[in-house]
Amino acid sequence: MAYTWTESPILFGSTTVKKTHIDELRTNTNTERGARALGNYSWAATITQNVTIILASHFTEVRTALNQAYDANHCDTVCTTHYSTNKASNYSNCALNFGCFSK
Protein backbone atom coordinates (compact mmCIF):
# COMPACT_ATOMS: atom_id res chain seq x y z
CA MET A 1 0.00 0.00 0.00
CA ALA A 2 1.19 3.48 -0.73
CA TYR A 3 0.65 6.24 1.78
CA THR A 4 0.81 9.98 1.46
CA TRP A 5 2.14 12.19 4.20
CA THR A 6 1.22 15.78 5.01
CA GLU A 7 4.84 16.73 5.47
CA SER A 8 7.36 14.87 3.36
CA PRO A 9 10.20 14.50 3.81
CA ILE A 10 10.55 14.82 7.55
CA LEU A 11 14.06 16.09 8.19
CA PHE A 12 16.11 15.31 11.28
CA GLY A 13 17.01 18.46 13.15
CA SER A 14 14.60 20.75 11.32
CA THR A 15 11.14 19.18 11.41
CA THR A 16 9.14 19.59 14.60
CA VAL A 17 7.12 16.50 15.53
CA LYS A 18 3.43 17.31 15.30
CA LYS A 19 0.11 15.73 16.20
CA THR A 20 -0.49 15.26 12.46
CA HIS A 21 2.56 12.99 12.21
CA ILE A 22 1.30 10.72 15.01
CA ASP A 23 -2.23 10.73 13.56
CA GLU A 24 -0.92 9.70 10.13
CA LEU A 25 1.21 6.92 11.62
CA ARG A 26 -1.74 5.62 13.61
CA THR A 27 -4.15 5.80 10.67
CA ASN A 28 -1.75 4.04 8.32
CA THR A 29 -0.98 1.42 10.97
CA ASN A 30 -4.69 0.70 11.39
CA THR A 31 -5.01 0.41 7.60
CA GLU A 32 -2.28 -2.26 7.61
CA ARG A 33 -3.96 -4.02 10.52
CA GLY A 34 -7.30 -3.97 8.70
CA ALA A 35 -5.69 -5.53 5.62
CA ARG A 36 -4.75 -8.45 7.86
CA ALA A 37 -8.20 -8.82 9.47
CA LEU A 38 -7.08 -7.22 12.73
CA GLY A 39 -9.12 -4.54 14.42
CA ASN A 40 -7.95 -1.01 14.97
CA TYR A 41 -5.32 -0.72 17.67
CA SER A 42 -6.53 0.70 20.97
CA TRP A 43 -4.17 3.64 21.45
CA ALA A 44 -3.35 4.38 25.08
CA ALA A 45 -3.45 8.16 24.76
CA THR A 46 -5.27 10.72 22.70
CA ILE A 47 -2.92 13.29 21.20
CA THR A 48 -4.20 16.86 21.62
CA GLN A 49 -2.63 19.59 19.46
CA ASN A 50 -0.52 22.05 21.50
CA VAL A 51 -1.30 20.16 24.73
CA THR A 52 0.12 16.63 24.56
CA ILE A 53 3.87 16.22 24.75
CA ILE A 54 4.94 13.70 22.11
CA LEU A 55 6.74 10.85 23.84
CA ALA A 56 8.81 7.89 22.70
CA SER A 57 6.00 5.69 24.02
CA HIS A 58 3.71 7.01 21.26
CA PHE A 59 6.13 5.64 18.66
CA THR A 60 6.70 2.41 20.60
CA GLU A 61 2.96 1.86 20.57
CA VAL A 62 2.89 2.24 16.77
CA ARG A 63 5.70 -0.32 16.55
CA THR A 64 3.72 -2.74 18.74
CA ALA A 65 0.61 -2.35 16.59
CA LEU A 66 2.62 -2.90 13.40
CA ASN A 67 4.39 -5.93 14.86
CA GLN A 68 1.00 -7.50 15.50
CA ALA A 69 0.08 -6.92 11.85
CA TYR A 70 3.36 -8.42 10.69
CA ASP A 71 2.85 -11.42 12.97
CA ALA A 72 -0.64 -11.89 11.52
CA ASN A 73 1.00 -11.96 8.09
CA HIS A 74 3.52 -14.57 9.33
CA CYS A 75 6.48 -12.23 8.98
CA ASP A 76 9.83 -13.16 10.40
CA THR A 77 11.63 -10.81 12.77
CA VAL A 78 14.71 -11.19 10.59
CA CYS A 79 13.45 -8.20 8.61
CA THR A 80 13.35 -5.99 11.69
CA THR A 81 16.83 -7.13 12.71
CA HIS A 82 18.03 -6.59 9.16
CA TYR A 83 16.54 -3.09 9.08
CA SER A 84 18.25 -2.03 12.27
CA THR A 85 21.68 -2.87 10.86
CA ASN A 86 21.25 -2.05 7.15
CA LYS A 87 19.79 0.51 4.80
CA ALA A 88 16.02 0.99 4.52
CA SER A 89 16.05 -0.21 0.89
CA ASN A 90 17.44 -3.56 2.06
CA TYR A 91 14.62 -3.77 4.61
CA SER A 92 12.03 -3.31 1.86
CA ASN A 93 13.57 -6.13 -0.15
CA CYS A 94 13.68 -8.38 2.91
CA ALA A 95 10.08 -7.59 3.86
CA LEU A 96 8.83 -8.23 0.33
CA ASN A 97 10.61 -11.57 0.27
CA PHE A 98 8.72 -12.54 3.42
CA GLY A 99 5.46 -11.10 2.06
CA CYS A 100 5.32 -8.61 4.90
CA PHE A 101 3.93 -5.71 2.90
CA SER A 102 1.28 -5.23 0.28
CA LYS A 103 2.82 -4.52 -3.10
Q: State yes or no: pLDDT of 95 exceeds 90.
A: no
Give the pLDDT score at 2.
77
Which of 99 and 14 is assigned the larger pLDDT?
A: 14
Confidence of residue 7 (pLDDT cuts 50, 70, 90): confident
Q: Which CB contacts under 8 angstroms, 24+ apart, belong to 23-30?
A: 23/47, 25/59, 25/62, 26/62, 26/65, 28/3, 29/62, 29/65, 29/66, 29/69, 30/65
What mean pLDDT comes out for the span 8-19?
88
Q: State yes or no: pLDDT of 81 exceeds 70.
A: no
